[in-house]
Structure 1
Amino acid sequence: MKSISTKMVKLLILALVGSSCLSVLCAAEDFDFFYFVQQWPGSFCDTQKSCCYPTTGKPAADFGIHGLWPNYKDGSYPSNCDPNNPFDQSQVSDLISSMQEEWPTLACPSSSGIAFWTHEWEKHGTCSESAINQHSYFAAALDLKKKANLLQALQSAGIKPNGESYTLADIKGALKDSIGYTPYIECNVDQSGNSQLYQVYLCVDTNGSDLIECPVFPHGKCGSSIEFPTF
């Protein structure tokens, strides 16, 4: 009788642990996909807020990484999942030069990018740490940028960052034809109030390795004519 009771207690404990994600680790496991977000620096800078180049100099005229963000299929997302796992530059020392090139900060005042990467890891990356660690998180984003190659995809379709305007359908079509998956296009407005190509969202599996079709898109929409500013 005693052994049956002990067994029942163990089963009850397992059931409780399985049904309640009270730990940070459980919270970190609970997401459905990543948004991989890249931004066009010309559109970031061509606003009333303007921008500041990083201390390493003006970035290349290419899309830069904004972040790799865990999300839920209902459109919500987890954040700041593990305050005990802060950004540690030593863990990504071999990636820093690539991050400076591909994941530059444009916020003012000018900085090295450490504050930007710290924010991205601590708000978003810690919510994926059960699947990928800190080094893998940043390496995954760098690999995804190469895989997507947004600027080449657009330029191959005749869509160039020359201040001209293009339709949303043409921009989305060019990217889907090249990448194979439907992007979400986010616009902002320049100092004259014109809609401009700002950010491109692609969706990624929970391992951070493969692009997938997005289960849900963010809210918001662009104007019918979208400017692609120079940088």
Structure 2
Amino acid sequence: YDPTEQDITNRLRAPGSQDAAGRAHLFGTDHLGRDILARMIFGARPALMVGFAAVAISGVLGMMVGLLSGYFGGRIDDVFMRLADVQLAFPFILLAIAVIGVLGPSLPVIIVVIGVSSWVVYARVVRGAVLSLREREFVQAARALGSRDGRVLLRHILPNAFTPWLVVATLDMARVIVIESALSFLGLGVQPPTPTWGGMLADGRVYISTAWWLATFPGLAILVTVLGINLFGDGLRDTLDPRLTV
């Protein structure tokens, strides 16, 4: 099925019904006769693309800030932490509306907006790990042997700070998918005719009393995806940190 193909004669068909051509629509059709299941499958693409790309941007940026801030301390730490406070002072949705209003709603803009505005949590997690690691014996030994700061950071501290960063990145992907869906719901995400879960929810809310499947199935897709990522993140945290195991 083409997720953008419209057929008004098949509009609002119930789940499991067939159209005039004998094609089954497992999840029904929407108000323009488009197959709901096909649109849900294609709608997963922008959600996952934004999830992976935005987490990569914010994760790398936050890791760099956390490493430098935690290792060097002093004024560098003060500057980065004040920047983090300023970042947190701006409500994300207002920042997104302002930037998207200027640059226009598109997939690259959404990825950059979410990625650049989500680095603080990574920076603070990595910074906390570095503050603990820099006083450990193996780091002190590397310094005593004349290792440069860059080598100490990349060879001795970064591998040990990577585990908490990875857990945060996994859990944060669920949050990013919810944000992308919310922006699409508000009309600030990827624009039609590209299907998105949030956009499908926005279209279906008008018909919630007469055609419940328009909003229910995209909502369940968001719920199952976010829940699955969160459960995977919790399992990853338990696996990588034996101290949490009872």
**Fold equivalence (TM over 0.5):** no
| Bigger RCO (CA 8 Å, 6+ sep) | 1
Q: Which structure: larger Rg?
A: 2
Question: Which has a greater percent of helix?
Answer: 2
Normalising by structure 2, we get a TM-score of 0.27
Question: Which has a greater percent of strand?
Answer: 1
